[in-house]
Structure 1
């Protein structure tokens, strides 16, 4: 980095340090090793299919693990998101009838099943 930046080019206190650079490099290598895009697509497909089976969900859209579940018009996504949070599941009510789900790459099938179970309890 020293060859790229001249004094005064960059003012961030914590960027470009040896520790931050090593952490970023290790993270990138881990994502390559685990084939993160493939994992995201596989887990996203699993989550999408299970969401589509939930009574009250009319459409699922998105890519990988960044998904939106469109709810029936009579369901208020903001209220549903709040009720899900009360049950320990963090989602966002992004429109009046859509929930955003964005689990981490490390989400397991068991955790997806647990999330679907919570969503079914709240939505149905």
Structure 2
């Protein structure tokens, strides 16, 4: 059985022929992202299971996951809708993020972890 990585991580969701860029997050970074999510206006809540990110060609957003604590939701940023999503197995909440605060947080985090993102990578 393959051991799952229990540390929080983030990834850029890019539909391509290569693996999505991924980096580890510290617990502090996870809490920063969670606090940022708490400042956003909620649009809707859905109790029908976890959120499924569409897979369009190219860049679609970001994803963060903390697998060791099941009560921590996954966090998504959906670029073409300027929305942030908090998702767990029971359902998800969608927040509006027209200022792209969550996207910018992910971009800064990627840069701080040595993941280079160029403007051509971030096309909608």
State the TM-score, normalizing by the size of structure 1: 0.26
Structure showing greater Rg? 1
**Structure with greater strand share of residues:** 2
Higher relative contact order, structure no. (Cα contacts within 8 Å, ≥ 6 residues apart): 2
Larger relative helix fraction: 1
